[in-house]
């Protein structure tokens, strides 16, 4: 399987890359840093110019396709786990900057991933985006983050609709994570109940399963909430 991962150097992206490497899948990591776990890397440099960033990504993918003599629709899955968190309400001094950050981290990355899927995903392929369970409700304490993730939820629904531009019989899903169990989150919230946090291993296993077995996927357009209690994760379509 050929899998493109946006955000391959993040906590979740790194786990997904290492898991897929163990399964001997062929992986492209796309982001601002390369990954040694990937077979190929698409290294982006345009952090502040959305149009240039998209063009840069497409140019490198086309170059890679031609170098390896692959068909244009050569990807079995496109996975976007790029993102970041920013807190604050409308009165916060950092409100505007925080909104700008999460728009770039979550919306830009998801939109670029969607266009890559439209051009390079195989018929019947998979696109996975990263949402947030919190964005299903008001988020006054992290307003920009909730807004950005809600936009990704809407994008997911639109991509699953007819004439969205995705290849025939492809599937799109959005993962709604409550709190991801990472070293950084444990340091930031040392008194939290870690048994309620979702492991990166669970998510990596799930995405890989969806990639190799189309029958295991949720209906296209699903917002899949991952809820963890007592270190056991269940899925719920919201």
Query: Exactly one of 6, 74, 108, 145 is catalytic; which is it?
Result: 145
141 labelled catalytic = no
**174 bridge partner residues:** 129, 223
Residue pair 198/178 in contact (Cβ under 8 Å)? The answer is: yes
Helix, strand or coil, per DSSP, at residue 122: strand
The residues near 14 (Cβ < 8 Å, ≥ 6 apart) are: 8, 35, 37
Half-sphere exposure of 190 (CA within 13 A, CB side): 1
Question: Helix/strand/coil (H, E, C) string of 142-194?
Answer: EHHHHHHHHHHHHHHHHHHCCCCCCCCCCEEEEEEECCEECHHHHHHCCCCCH
Q: Which of helix, strand or coil describes residue 233?
A: strand
The per-residue DSSP string of 198-231 comes to EEHHHHHHHHHHHHH-GGGSPPTTEEEEEEEETT
Which residues form the catalytic set? 145
């Amino acid at each position: 399987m050929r899998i493109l991962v946006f955000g391959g150097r993040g906590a979740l992206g790194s786990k997904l890359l290492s898991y897929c490497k163990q399964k001997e899948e062929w992986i492209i990591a796309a982001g601002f840093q390369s990954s040694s776990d990937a077979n190929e890397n698409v290294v982006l440099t345009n952090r502040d110019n959305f149009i240039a960033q998209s063009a840069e990504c497409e140019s490198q993918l086309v170059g890679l396709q031609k170098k390896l003599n692959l068909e244009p629709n050569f990807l079995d899955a496109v996975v976007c786990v790029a993102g970041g968190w920013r807190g604050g309400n409308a009165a916060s001094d950092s409100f505007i900057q925080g909104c700008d950050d999460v728009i770039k981290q979550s919306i830009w990355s998801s939109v670029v991933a969607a266009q890559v899927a439209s051009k390079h995903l195989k018929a019947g392929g998979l696109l996975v985006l990263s949402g947030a369970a919190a964005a299903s409700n008001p988020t006054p304490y992290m307003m920009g983050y909730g807004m950005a993730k809600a936009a990704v939820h809407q994008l997911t629904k639109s991509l699953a609709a007819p004439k969205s531009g995705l290849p025939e019989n492809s599937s799109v899903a959005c993962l709604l994570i409550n709190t991801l169990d990472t070293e950084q989150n444990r340091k930031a919230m040392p008194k939290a109940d870690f048994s309620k946090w979702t492991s990166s291993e669970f998510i990596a296993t799930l995405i890989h399963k969806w990639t190799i077995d189309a029958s295991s996927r949720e209906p296209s357009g699903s917002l899949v909430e991952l809820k963890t209690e007592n270190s056991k994760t269940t899925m719920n379509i919201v």
